[in-house]
Amino acid sequence: MPTGIRSATRTLAHFAAGALLVNTVPHTVKGLTGQRFPTPFADPPGVGLSSPTENITWGAINLAAAGLLLRGGVRSKGQRLTVLTGGTLMAFGLSRYFGALDPEAGAAEHEHATENAS
């Protein structure tokens, strides 16, 4: 494989690994605390609530996939920055996505903002 393609593939793998590592956290935490939370196994996928066991399973799948993507190691500052960027963007994306699924959280946030404006 040409060096340029190998480098681009490695960069994409590091970015995806960061995103997967961040996605591991909410699913594993919800599963460990016995709470239901959306996963791709739910009906509808990503919206319906999955059992704690399914969440732990999905967290483990994300962790394993990230481990496979990082199997060559993270050797340089640029590679660490790529993993961090993937994780950070995933964190912001997840917060927006799951925030939109929880209408009570949005109402409470709006109520808090209204109180502070007065």
Please name the amino acid found at residue 33. Answer: T
Can you give the pTM of this predicted structure? 0.81
Q: What is the pLDDT of residues 31-83, one digit of tens each?
A: 999 999 999 999 999 999 999 999 999 999 999 999 999 998 888 999 999 99
Q: Can you tell me the distance from the alpha carbon of 56 to that of 28, in angstroms, rounded to the nearest whole number?
A: 5
Q: What is the pLDDT of residues 8-32, one digit of tens each?
A: 999 999 999 999 999 999 999 999 9
Q: Which value, to the nearest 10 degrees, does the dihedral of the CA atoms of residues 82, 83, 85, 90 take?
A: 140
Taken as a whole, the chain contains a residue count of 118
